[in-house]
Chain A
Amino acid sequence: MGGTKLLGQTPSQTVGPFFAYSLTPEQYGYDWVSLAGPDMADDAIPGERIIFEGQVLDGAGQPITDAMIEIWQADSTGAYATEPGRNTRFTGFGRAGTGVLGDGMFRFTTVKPGAPSAEEAPHINIIVTMRGLLMHVFTRAYFEGDARSAADLLLAQVPEDRRGTLLARQTAPGIWRFDIRMQGDAETVFFDL
């Protein structure tokens, strides 16, 4: 392939305000099967069950009620569902719109991920899309107080004074809060990955 001209990437466009009936239909009450939703783990899935929730906020601090949050995570042992030989009902993929709970909130029921490798602390990968965002953004949530985060390969590439924006905080037993701020002093770190 060396020297071959690459095809041009198809440009990104906003997801717009009307995605919910197709991408998150069950959550919004539409009669269409969802491929993924906010409830990712029932009692039969091994691991520590957690609520992973937060609010999406714009540059004026106002809740964004038409965003879509996608999360993709390892299971409680640190294995992704894509790894060979996995045979589990837990896909590790969840989707939620922020227009149902009020105040731009999303809330996933899942299990706390394990560390995928010695170089990675437990984390949740996140994709954020919304009306007014011309290209989705990638971010990650780590768990506040987990000592393994200090050795994380990706976190080490983030300026120290902004790493706090990537920490989910435990607000009650088993409930982890991760707000996503699109702008402002505490703007969440978004990755070019």
Chain B
Amino acid sequence: MPLILNPRDFSSHPAYIDKGYRSTALRGPAKPLIPVRGVSLASPVYGHDRVGAADADLTLNGRKDAEPLGERIIVTGRVLDENNRPLANTLVEIWQANAAGRYIHVVDQHPAPLDPNFFGGGRCITDQDGRYRFLTIKPGAYPWGNHVNAWRPNHIHFSLFGHQFGQRLVTQMYFPGDPLLALDPIYLGVPAKSRERMIAQFSIDVTEEGYALGYIFDIVLRGENATLWENQ
């Protein structure tokens, strides 16, 4: 039986209804969440045997006959819990726009070019230190219809499970120094004290000479309640 998790820290997460992000008005729950305690559940068994070795290389996994266009980047980091313990063997899934700011998804109608050699989806499983690593192309910014002249900052979507059902997290990773962050209601929907946790750090140590810039993005999921296990 998994241990009880610390609560979701709602002061670090966005509210469900956000005035700046229009689509939340009819989609965010309006009634308070019902707190439940004493129920714990392991995270789902996904198809981990289907994660291929090349799935973490987005410069390769959509390639038809040439390299994808754009700036090659390495995105790596550790998945940790709040107690600073690494989460090994956990799934990290990503998806992103290409260098021109266009997603391969059929509903993306932004008139920027698709790249026939770039798919934009990736996944891997963390190692014993909780570490993941993707090689990809820096995603472009793109416009969206939320308000006049609205542009999403460069970002990569992340989906994680952790080890317990309640650790599920869907988030977005941003890039340091992006001027669009100050204008983006999705980013600004997060309380000021925790926003910067979503910004990757540039790292010259991760950067590979002559090949790709490196970014570090550590992800912190809810931890098991330390007080509870001390008392056991």
Contact = CB atoms under 8 A, between A and B. Distances in A.
Interface of A: 1-2, 4, 6-23, 25, 28, 30, 32-36, 58-60, 62, 64, 66, 70, 72, 80-82, 91-93, 99, 125, 127, 129-138, 153-154, 157-159, 162, 182-184, 187, 189-193
A9 B12 contact: yes
20 contacts: A9-B222, A10-B169, A10-B197, A12-B14, A13-B186, A22-B94, A22-B123, A22-B157, A23-B95, A32-B121, A34-B50, A35-B93, A35-B123, A62-B26, A91-B47, A134-B15, A154-B36, A182-B28, A187-B31, A193-B36
Closest 10 CB pairs of A and B: A132-B23, A22-B121, A22-B95, A132-B27, A59-B26, A93-B44, A35-B47, A1-B226, A134-B14, A192-B33
Contacts of B7: 192
B58 to A, nearest CB: 10
Contacts of A32: 61, 119, 121
Given A7-B82, A134-B14, A192-B36, 11 more contacts: A6-B6, A6-B223, A18-B103, A21-B103, A22-B122, A35-B47, A80-B45, A92-B44, A135-B14, A158-B36, A187-B29
Nearest to B193: A8
B11 to A, nearest CB: 9
Main SS at interface, chain B: loop
A7 B78 CA distance: 13
A11 B26 contact: no
B220 interface: yes
Interface in B15-57: 15-16, 18, 21-31, 33-39, 41-48, 50-52
B118 to A, nearest CB: 12
A9, A35, A58, A189: most-surrounded residue (chain B CB, <10 A): A9
Given A6-B223, A134-B186, A192-B7, A22 B27 contact: no
Contacts of B230: 1-2
A91 B46 contact: yes
Interface of B: 6-9, 12-16, 18, 21-31, 33-39, 41-48, 50-52, 61, 80-84, 91, 93-95, 97, 103-108, 119-123, 157, 159, 165-166, 168-172, 186-187, 189-191, 194-195, 197-198, 219-223, 226-227, 230
Nearest to A95: B46
Nearest to A72: B44
B50 A33 contact: yes
Contact of B47 (A17, A34, A132): A34
Contacts of B194: 8-9, 11
Contacts of A193: 35-36, 39, 165-166
A66 B172 contact: no
B48 A82 contact: no
B33 A182 contact: no
Contacts of B28: 132-134, 182-183
A157 B33 CA distance: 12
A137 B165 CA distance: 12
Contacts of B61: 32
A12 B39 contact: no
B21 A132 contact: yes
B34 A157 contact: yes
Contact of B121 (A12, A25, A134): A25
Nearest to B108: A18
Contacts of B44: 36, 70, 72, 91-93
